[in-house]
Structure 1
């Protein structure tokens, strides 16, 4: 941080020396050892000698003699015990107090000094951008918010402002008041609905047009239309298919065009609608489907693997229902289906509003996309989704929602019961005290009461997964999820150097370099070559997959690979 603040000072002329002096004073105060009375966390545990139940609470007290480490700015903790005992009604109750001692620095004071210094040179706000915040573990997220983000946000009076990218429902606010921050949803349905757009799909398609026009003009100095075959189709047809295949996600747009380029522009021909459709299927099988197919190779807990297994079963149930509708619709006499009988479109479906959260993870990983919600005939809210376009191509499901506006609201596209049945077979809600079980459709009600068991009114209800026998592999070939993504990125496009891989994996190139070295030296899954493949990049260290990696992890993509050791 000191390095970047010092760089700022270069633009302020004669004030630079005084700026540097004040900056040095701030960091000298951080490194100096000081002693203050600080708040100490005490954990109280109640032990019942009769029932063996344990109840935890917290008490707070004050202690002194805690200082700052002079070597680094960090939080450190140690603990000690303090005990007391009481007896009530013949039952022995023991209270155990655990004291957590913290070595700390005072961030409020430091922030105030930095704020005052920056204000003197005309800086009105400091923006801190955090990308992919939801990727970190829940425990790490809570610690980071409680110790860094919340203090910065709450103590600086809006001077330090955060811009945080996170997935819906995967962010922890801590002491931050959600009502006092702007939450901008980027999923196209929520984004355009919040702006009172009537035709959400049309607006999202126009956004594809604006996105491609600006990017093509900037990077290629050409109009997008010059890359598409317009002999049979208008450019608007291509934008519509791009919307269908990508759900308006810019990263997905880039991937679809990259795959389409491999079979068209790179071979001297223009992109056709067929190229986009095949690209969608290729992107699905290469990058999305591996979320499930590579599950057995993930170095994860059994519960995490089990959750993915049941999630895959849920997706398969939705696919099964869509295929069933495709088979049955041609034999129906309803006028609503009349124009669709020759080619029934069955990619779209709906569920009851209270079941929406059960599909969040599938939507998060682009297997399905929410596109609308409305009231049914009974006045109850229903939510509409569609299956991934590439998945539909792979499973031979016709994509679309019918020419008749009443088509998609027919009862056969209500998958609520089928999804509920699948979820109930995979998950249960159970009280950790009395053992009472509840179906998953009671989750919303239980959450209103903080998961308190309605039967015993003492225990807390927890979601448990029904255990099944999962396919297993040897522990020595199990890898972290990031490592598998790195290997898969090379399988899709090989060779690549660290910076290019970092763009694909949305991380810093140093992380790629570190993990690539591990995969090479510890597992012999990668090999490096220093070479000049492209003039514009010069000499670089390129990474290649080994035959061992292809055979173990990607045998279905490369069946000709030899057996791994």
Structure 2
């Protein structure tokens, strides 16, 4: 039915959709295909055109939504204009390098405790690396200008520009030079901390309070158990001020204003009017690092450069920090289904999303195979349009997921000369869920995350299970005609969506970020209250034999907001049983409910009775027992666990590039991590007789992390 060439071409088409990060699309001759194959989420390349505006822009979307692809297209377009210089920086890779390669500056150890010093050095190295990388990128990009400007500047002047850029880079990397600025500032902070400690201890003696603050080998620590004396409150405020003082240190050490001016003057020789910095994987670094990065580098470079430097930033939903960047002067472009299409016509959201799926597949398959999409799908019983709808539903419009699902379909059907059926797509969705999404909780269990963070995530696993149990019960009741009303169809017991009040959204962001659930729409419920409607992952629905979606027809338009699908009480009960919100003052020990959280947020989580801090503790005895059974030596960094999980999901050895493409890491990073997992842990077997090396799990790893 299909020739070997047809099969190979279809395989190449769907594999191209899986490409991640900076993986350029090229043909067999090395020609870049991105401009030909790029498919915008909206008609008329609206997303790309909006991204190309001179404003600083945040591209916000979950993994696989196409942020890196848009970055590549932005670069292509900007390179056509000599007044623009695009510079790509992989923030995650730079940050990981900073964590392992920072220089231990002994001259600071007498001023900072060990924990504060380590934190300072990592963030210092990170900011230093970003600035250096920016200069490297500018140098690389400017090389392409030199041939154009040689006739104007002459070779000597062109080389002078390169030399100036190299000198600026060396200045940033010269620790001896930075040391002269750094030491006086750090000494000043250390002195203020010392005075703070002494003043607080004196205040404690005079007031009889119970506020303790000091600097130990673990860093600044405080114990709060005091009455609301003004002296104690002042001490607490001062402590917080000192903890945030490093940002001002970085600002002075790296002299951001001077840096901007130097870059501007150097590039003026090349007639460059705008440097556009593309920051990829911005949200994959630690929360505190994000804040420091924005406050110290991004905001000043953006605000002080007088339109010379503009940023394009790839970020995850709910993992954004604007700092002192004026939100009114930036563009935020949402790429996830609901956030994108709800901006236009909510009644036609699915229609717009399915149109993208259709345009994406038709362009990709036609280019690689020379055939139509319908040539690879069995349209004897259902139309190709219904296939497009199913592919949208199983992927929520995420190109990378579409690639995986069709890759699975290729393995199960196309290579056997059979056309793809709707049931094949559904089975592929289940496989994708089980292989790529479900392991998230297993990775969390064995990761080196803080215990409270682990508990919070694993509690979400329990909440997800409750969602599935409740939806399963709804399906049973519809099938048994226990629900009256024309909305329910006994033979089609749809039960994949649910709704709740928007206030609960912040508690389930981790589930959404990792594709266990997705926001579908918003509407008013039976009582006229605005509710958020979510759906579970299509593969999760297939795994639990749940019907995904709702009946066809306008009379079922409000199917999802029927009372059985109201999960607000279930979420509220779960949070009440899973969290204990209380004042840390043992003499007060006031407890709070979920309904009182807005009040606590207003008071910065201070007790309204005694003024002490209010904290949230997880109540999860079973999870804590589960975690205690794991030995500390078996816990690994998240990236290492991901490598092991990826190898465990395959029945063959993998090379670094194959692992890297799955995990959004560089091949070099995979190689380094696998070497350590081999030599130090005995978990990875490196097959050195292959070129490049291939990797597989040892029996020890298979037994530990099964």
2:47 aligns with none
2:522 aligns with 373
In 2, the alpha carbon distance for the partners of 1:491 and 1:222 equals: 36
Please tell me the root mean square deviation across aligned C-alpha atoms, in Å: 3.1
Range that drifts further, 486-495 or 198-207: 486-495
Matched, 1:482 2:652: no
Range that drifts further, 105-114 or 541-550: 541-550
Selected match of 2:305 from 137, 156, 162 = 156
Range that drifts further, 213-222 or 369-378: 213-222
2:499 and 2:532 in contact (8 A); partners too: yes
Flag the 1:244–1:36 CA change in 2: closer, same or farther, 3 A: closer
User: Taking CA–CA contacts closer than 8 Å with sequence separation of 6 or more, which of the two structures ends up with the larger relative contact order?
Assistant: 2
Flag the 1:289–1:36 CA change in 2: closer, same or farther, 3 A: closer
In 1, the alpha carbon distance for the partners of 2:386 and 2:632 equals: 49
1:98-157: CA deviations, max 9, x gaps?
797778232211221212222331323222222222211112222222222222112212
Flag the 1:470–1:491 CA change in 2: closer, same or farther, 3 A: same
Selected match of 1:504 from 641, 649, 662 = 662
Range that drifts further, 145-154 or 314-323: 145-154
In 1, the alpha carbon distance for the partners of 2:230 and 2:486 equals: 73
1:287 aligns with 436
Matched, 1:455 2:609: yes
In 1, the alpha carbon distance for the partners of 2:455 and 2:663 equals: 25
In 2, the alpha carbon distance for the partners of 1:475 and 1:447 equals: 35
1:366 and 1:388 in contact (8 A); partners too: yes
In 2, the alpha carbon distance for the partners of 1:163 and 1:540 equals: 35
Range that drifts further, 515-524 or 210-219: 210-219
In 2, the alpha carbon distance for the partners of 1:470 and 1:124 equals: 60
In 2, the alpha carbon distance for the partners of 1:545 and 1:161 equals: 45
1:18 aligns with 157
1:421 aligns with 573
In 2, the alpha carbon distance for the partners of 1:384 and 1:455 equals: 37
Q: Can you give the 5+ residue segments of structure 2 that lack an aligned partner in the other structure?
A: 1-132, 221-228
Query: SS at the partner of 2:420?
Result: coil
Selected match of 1:409 from 543, 546, 561 = 561
Flag the 1:219–1:136 CA change in 2: closer, same or farther, 3 A: farther
In 1, the alpha carbon distance for the partners of 2:510 and 2:705 equals: 24
1:281-312: CA deviations, max 9, x gaps?
11111111111234332222211221122111
In 2, the alpha carbon distance for the partners of 1:179 and 1:437 equals: 39
2:409 and 2:424 in contact (8 A); partners too: yes
1:240-287: CA deviations, max 9, x gaps?
111111111122111211222221123332221111111111111111
Structure 2 length as normaliser, TM-score?
0.67
2:461 aligns with 312
In 2, the alpha carbon distance for the partners of 1:89 and 1:243 equals: 58
Range that drifts further, 1-10 or 259-268: 1-10
In 1, the alpha carbon distance for the partners of 2:598 and 2:679 equals: 49
2:210 aligns with 52
Flag the 1:121–1:219 CA change in 2: closer, same or farther, 3 A: farther
1:525 and 1:549 in contact (8 A); partners too: yes
Q: Can you give the 5+ residue segments of structure 1 that lack an aligned partner in the other structure?
A: 57-77, 80-87, 533-538, 555-565
The Cα of 1:341 is off from its aligned counterpart by 0.8
In 1, the alpha carbon distance for the partners of 2:166 and 2:274 equals: 21
2:700 aligns with 548
1:427 and 1:440 in contact (8 A); partners too: no
2:444 and 2:457 in contact (8 A); partners too: yes
Selected match of 1:147 from 281, 291, 296 = 296
Higher-strand-fraction structure: 1
Matched, 1:118 2:276: no
1:296 and 1:305 in contact (8 A); partners too: yes
2:541 aligns with 392
2:526 and 2:561 in contact (8 A); partners too: no
1:519 and 1:525 in contact (8 A); partners too: yes
The Cα of 1:396 is off from its aligned counterpart by 1.8
Query: SS at the partner of 2:381?
Result: coil
2:57 aligns with none
2:526 and 2:563 in contact (8 A); partners too: no
- The 5 Å alignment of 1:296-307 reads 296-307=445-456
2:492 and 2:551 in contact (8 A); partners too: no
Number of aligned positions between the proteins: 516
2:73 aligns with none
In 1, the alpha carbon distance for the partners of 2:605 and 2:572 equals: 20
In 2, the alpha carbon distance for the partners of 1:197 and 1:318 equals: 25
1:359-418: CA deviations, max 9, x gaps?
222111111111110123433211101111111111122212234234322111101101
